[in-house]
Structure 1
């Protein structure tokens, strides 16, 4: 079986916005059953240490965003009446590592789900390596880190090519452990806790002797608003919930010049962090547009790309809720609905690029935490894969945008266009 737990994102609006990824350092037990990588002379090319936006493969960015909106739509059908936050980047990177161990129709289904058609395996890996390097150096005023790890059962022999690709392109920390040892689960969770700055302390509840591998990605983000909200302007205001009732909730307020747009469907504003390379986009449906209708018509990568071209610089006032919440879900059903059922089937999964032992994906979990306040945003996400043996028109006057009802938000790298986090806030807490 394969168990694929996914860590959720942590977001905090606090004048400081940081996205931190876990930094990978290699640790291999030479006596373990994981084969050692081949020599540098025979290995695949390592990722470049200096990335610029022009070096990023636009096909991968488009694929990640398309996959992200598809997955978000599935989760909205499942959890649309609660606050939701996910990291398309984290899930895509974790599944890309799994993709390296799949063959045949199983690999084809993963590629289709991740929108990787037209990209070779090497292109996928190199593009992910380039993107991670770019994101981690996006803005010196924003902390953005991505880390990967592989935790293998010492009794299982893994394919050397698979291990080498995970090390070379994903800079993954690799360890083999005795999965019969009850302390293993704490060791893995400690790694996750460190690499999410304590925002996600637990991703695994147990490690079983028949688990053979866990692939984990972690993303951490922390950054300050380019223009902080003045706490003196924060006051309790009515926030309308999905059932039409309202509750008092702190709304922050500021006036300035923003990238903004408005039509008969929504209002949208860009709130930049640091030097402006990364921004939070807040999209508020108009009062006469039901939230389910808005998400059905709005949530697609093509619509998002259109929205991104519609912003103009405008003066106005933004009133935004201060909020903090956690979200957790199991992604098995959503991923199967998106077109990759074979990898979850113990009788049909083909993960022979990973090990000769029969295996399949048992579970995919995702956890997030987000906090938004006057200073900025802090966010973290972890995705873990565990493998178990088989058994309109813009007005010219200053605008007013009062976010006092359910809304959509996303954190985006404005150079590459990749979406790091996306969420739906229906009941700020």
Structure 2
């Protein structure tokens, strides 16, 4: 029995561009260009962040047997990036390597985060994209000013000292997350352990309308095949036009833009003779880049299920498997937070939401890093019908930067 999964990935950066005035999917394609040239450190960060996003995708897919999976590597990276500024020694090196930031100095990492956050915001008036970061030290706990200052400078983090003994402390943190995600991420933190001393939190919100919207009158109940023999009903949308498209004997890929075409969703539909999990396991940076380079405009019809999914997961095991196990144990060194250490990451909690319908896509995600003290009708052209498991990506089209990547094996929709 195939597990049903959606694995939506947002990784670090989206770089967007201007476009022409095409108003129909049958018209000439919109052409993107960067609003400015990337620095060398920004370009390295964009490239390495794709590696982190794909590896995190594969790690979660391998370890989580849940029907639905939905994560944001961008959110995870932001939260861990702030935490990295408090790490020292081998803990710092292992976290840096896990985040695929090997080619950058600490200064370059922080500067690249800051400049790319600046670049991401307010680039497309037709797309809402928001990032928020915060650090919540236990009230009275000694924190080095340098740690708070570096994260305020480069991550725009809010300093939110809080009495963790307050009866409403959990609600205060959850309300901040809910506000920053427009109410899409609710009740994320379940409790505060007695020895917890700090929470580092990232929240992300995305809402984009399709450049070419689906006609709701064409949406019908159709079968979605979880295996060649088994199927479930879904609400299947339909649209025809001129799309970026690629096909070989193993995959069909197409690209659906949002707003002014500065963001897009790219869908990967593996052939029926391979499983979705085998396809996910086969992904790497080279094949990923090749897929996007091979996209070309073709006329065709797309059928895609409506989706509305929530996901929540403790990411400890995935991150440990990716190489930062030292950060979760008694050997962790976060002495650049308080000056003396005795801290470790006890939980990395991740929660996400996505809705895909005829109008567009709404997605939100948040990541909490918890630190505790050690105790010590007949279409023409191609025809792509997504009625079996498939992959999709929301991406920036100029540099193929991943915003979201999803795996769908059993689409769901609720009114």
- TM superposition score normalised by structure 1: 0.85
Q: 1:214 aligns with which of 183, 193, 199?
A: 199
Residues 1:380 and 2:364 aligned together: yes
Q: 1:342 to 1:10 in 2, by over 3 A?
A: closer
2:243 and 2:76 map into 1 onto residues whose CA distance is 31
Match of 1:329 in 2: 313
Residues 1:341 and 2:325 aligned together: yes
Q: Per chain length, whose mean CA-contact separation is higher, i.e. which structure has more relative contact order (CA < 8 Å, sep 6+)?
A: 1
Q: 2:38 aligns with which of 50, 54, 73?
A: 54
Q: 1:309 aligns with which of 288, 293, 302?
A: 293
Match of 1:16 in 2: none
1:243 and 1:335 map into 2 onto residues whose CA distance is 34
Q: 1:320 to 1:9 in 2, by over 3 A?
A: closer
SS in structure 1 opposite 2:336? coil
Cα deviation, 1:246-300, whole Å, max 9, x if unaligned, reads 1221110010000000011110000000000100011000111222221121x22
Q: 1:380 to 1:58 in 2, by over 3 A?
A: same
Q: CA deviation at 1:242?
A: 3.9
Q: CA deviation at 1:426?
A: 1.0
Q: 1:156 to 1:9 in 2, by over 3 A?
A: farther
1:203 and 1:380 map into 2 onto residues whose CA distance is 13
2:221 and 2:400 map into 1 onto residues whose CA distance is 35
Residue ranges of structure 1 left out of the alignment (5+ in a row) = 1-7, 12-18, 20-49, 392-396
2:332 and 2:391 map into 1 onto residues whose CA distance is 36
Q: CA deviation at 1:83?
A: 2.3
Q: 2:389 aligns with which of 396, 403, 406?
A: 406
Q: CA deviation at 1:343?
A: 0.3
SS in structure 1 opposite 2:160? strand
Residues 1:278 and 2:242 aligned together: no
8 Å contact from structure 2 (residues 94, 324) kept in 1: yes
SS in structure 2 opposite 1:339? helix
Q: 1:127 aligns with which of 105, 112, 122?
A: 112
Root-mean-square deviation over aligned CA pairs: 1.9
Match of 1:28 in 2: none
Q: 1:88 to 1:279 in 2, by over 3 A?
A: same
Residue ranges of structure 2 left out of the alignment (5+ in a row) = 1-6, 15-33
Match of 1:172 in 2: 157
Q: Give the length in aligned residue pairs.
A: 378
